[in-house]
């Protein structure tokens, strides 16, 4: 099953009509535009010249049969294929480095031999990731560029091939959408973008019953991550920490004080992005640290 890149939404919404419907356990390919909606064709184009109504498109949404409110949607990222050219841009008024910028600038970046060619001397290894991925919020529209409890523009570089992403289901069918791929991006995304690029993502979707989460989570071979967005980095970190405490409290036989002390020893606070309308942080816990508990997402 393929969802083409000309079928997009610009808001995550309970009112979005699903493009297609699938069963739990199905694989689906999402073809995606870059965050600029494919508008940048040359380095002469700057962001001020683009149609802002076409920024941050997310392909979808996909309805998953049997996904009910209160369930969890597990999205397994099987494959990310990138186009051969990405783009970056600067806006002097935006990002943490705005005070240093001399003006708007656009840079096209070729992808070759599994590297992003920044210039003749800088060729960066790729880390293909999904910037925007999420489900419909419960009762309001949220722009695709804004992250929240539903997911959205988390710009979380651990959402890549080989990871499972978990979302709380807020509406029947979940309504999954995604886009905003990056070939390379550093934690923080401090200049407002990574190497923005079109491509396609192959995922497997499964419904998880009898597990409750309030915000997205990510799992890879080595770790679990709680992910949270809020108006400030401090609040996002606190929310991600709260979620990790609740996750552990329901799965390991330790007292509340012991869990808190353990988290201070083996959990790492990491920043996803600091440039969107809401800031996003994640907390990581290594699976190896808790081998004796056989930690799993399912209780």
* pLDDT single digits (tens) 68-89: 999 999 999 999 999 999 999 9
Is the residue at 77 inside a domain?
A: yes
146, 10: one domain: yes
Domains held by the chain: number = 2
Q: What is the pLDDT of residue 98?
A: 85
Reading the block at residue 22, the tokens are: 């699938």
The Cα–Cα gap between 97 and 85 comes to: 24
User: 91 pLDDT band (50/70/90 cuts)?
Assistant: confident
Is the residue at 84 inside a domain?
A: yes
- Phi, psi dihedrals of residue 236, rounded to the nearest 5°: -65, -40
246, 194: one domain: no
Q: What is the pLDDT of residue 45?
A: 76
User: 46 pLDDT band (50/70/90 cuts)?
Assistant: confident
Mean pLDDT of 220-249: 98
Q: What angle do CA 145, 146, 152 make, to 5 degrees?
A: 85
Reading the block at residue 88, the tokens are: 């970056």
128, 198: one domain: yes
Mean pLDDT of 221-230: 98
Is the residue at 174 inside a domain?
A: yes
158, 27: one domain: yes
Q: What is the pLDDT of residue 292?
A: 86
| Enclosing domain of residue 230 | 217-293
Is the residue at 74 inside a domain?
A: yes
67, 192: one domain: yes
204, 222: one domain: no
106, 169: one domain: yes
CATH of the domain at 249: 3.10.28.20
Pick from 190, 208, 226: which residue ends a domain? 208
Q: What is the pLDDT of residue 146?
A: 97
248, 162: one domain: no
């Amino acid at each position: 099953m393929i969802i083409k890149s000309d079928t997009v939404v610009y808001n995550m919404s309970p009112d979005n009509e699903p493009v297609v419907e699938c069963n739990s356990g199905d694989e689906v390919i999402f073809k995606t535009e870059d965050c600029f909606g494919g508008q940048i064709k040359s380095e002469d184009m700057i962001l001020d010249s683009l149609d802002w109504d076409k920024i941050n498109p997310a392909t979808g949404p996909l309805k998953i049969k049997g996904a009910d409110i209160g369930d969890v949607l597990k999205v397994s990222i099987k494959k990310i294929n990138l186009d051969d050219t990405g783009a970056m841009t600067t806006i002097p008024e935006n990002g943490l480095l705005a005070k240093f910028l001399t003006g708007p600038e656009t840079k096209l970046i070729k992808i070759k031999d599994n590297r992003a060619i920044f210039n003749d001397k800088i060729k960066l290894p790729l880390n293909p990731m999904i910037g925007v991925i999420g489900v419909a919020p419960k009762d309001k529209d949220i722009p695709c560029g804004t992250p929240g409890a539903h997911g959205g523009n988390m710009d979380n570089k651990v959402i890549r091939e080989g990871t499972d992403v978990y979302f709380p289901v807020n509406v029947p069918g979940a309504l999954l959408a995604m886009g905003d791929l990056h070939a390379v991006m550093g934690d923080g995304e401090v200049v407002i973008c990574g190497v923005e690029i079109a491509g396609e993502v192959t995922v497997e979707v499964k419904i998880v019953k009898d597990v409750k989460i309030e915000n997205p989570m990510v799992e890879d071979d080595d770790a679990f991550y709680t992910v949270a967005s809020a108006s400030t980095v401090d609040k996002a970190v606190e929310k991600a920490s709260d979620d990790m405490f609740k996750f552990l409290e329901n799965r390991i036989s330790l007292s509340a004080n012991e869990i808190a002390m353990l988290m201070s020893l083996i959990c790492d606070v990491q920043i996803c992005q600091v440039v969107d309308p809401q800031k996003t942080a994640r907390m990581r816990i290594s699976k190896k640290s808790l081998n004796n508990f056989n930690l799993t997402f399912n209780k």
